[in-house]
Structure 1
Amino acid sequence: MTSAPKFAYIRSKALLTACREIPCQHCGVADGTVCAAHSNQARHGKGRSIKASDIYVASLCTKCHADLDQGAQMSREERAGMWDNAHRNTVRTLVKRGLWPLTVPVPDSRRLT
């Protein structure tokens, strides 16, 4: 008996690279450190030893990414809210600029919140 995967993971180097092409979607800096920050939320597929699906990334600079992942200054809810806002902005910006890879599904807008 085989079990069905609980989450359909999408991996895309093109999408992760595109995230570097726009400024940080939290603070707005474009300092060369911006990269794709994966969601830390289980609802996006984050697991014990697996990153969330690549469609659940936010373009964040090194400082904002560190604040998100190691920041003791924010509650869990505040970190989730920060990432959610940056993710929505990332998806909108990449799609608007034509940088979202055509072969990668855009997350359902109902799941963006």
Structure 2
Amino acid sequence: MSCGVSDDTIVAAHSNQLRDGKGRGVKAHDYRIAYLCYTCHTAIDQGKDLNKQDRVDLWETAHRKTIGWLFENGKLKA
């Protein structure tokens, strides 16, 4: 949902933001996921080429796209 790649490396990447409950050995809740390919997941998690705000912005954009996709495709319902 970040770069548009649709391959077999796509996973539900949890938020790494402290406000989402992320901590040492603790993952954020499952509703704070973004579908990311391996390359995007690595870039956001390890961020060698991105500053912290860029990583947050990319993850948040992918998260919104993921949630939208889940609703539009009947995977989540309100």
* TM class by smaller structure: over 0.9
Letter in 1 for 2:70: L
Determine the structure 1 residue equivalent to 2:43: 67
1:51-83, CA deviations, whole angstroms, 9 ceiling, x for partnerless residues?
A: 000100000000100111112100000000000
- Secondary structure of 1:83's match? helix
Determine the structure 1 residue equivalent to 2:67: 91
Determine the structure 1 residue equivalent to 2:17: 41
How many residue pairs get aligned? The number is 78
Q: 1: distance between equivalents of 2:18 and 2:7? A: 30
Kindly report structure 1 stretches of 4+ aligned residues shifted beyond 3 Å.
Answer: none
Q: Report the TM-score when normalising by structure 2.
A: 0.93
State the Cα RMSD in Å: 1.2
- Secondary structure of 1:43's match? helix
Unaligned runs of 5+ in 2: none
Q: Report the TM-score when normalising by structure 1.
A: 0.66
Tell me which of the two structures has the higher relative contact order, counting C-alpha pairs closer than 8 angstroms and 6 or more residues apart.
2
Q: 1: distance between equivalents of 2:40 and 2:31? A: 19
Q: 1: distance between equivalents of 2:65 and 2:22? A: 20
Identical positions, percent: 45
Q: Say if 2:29 is the partner of 1:53.
A: yes
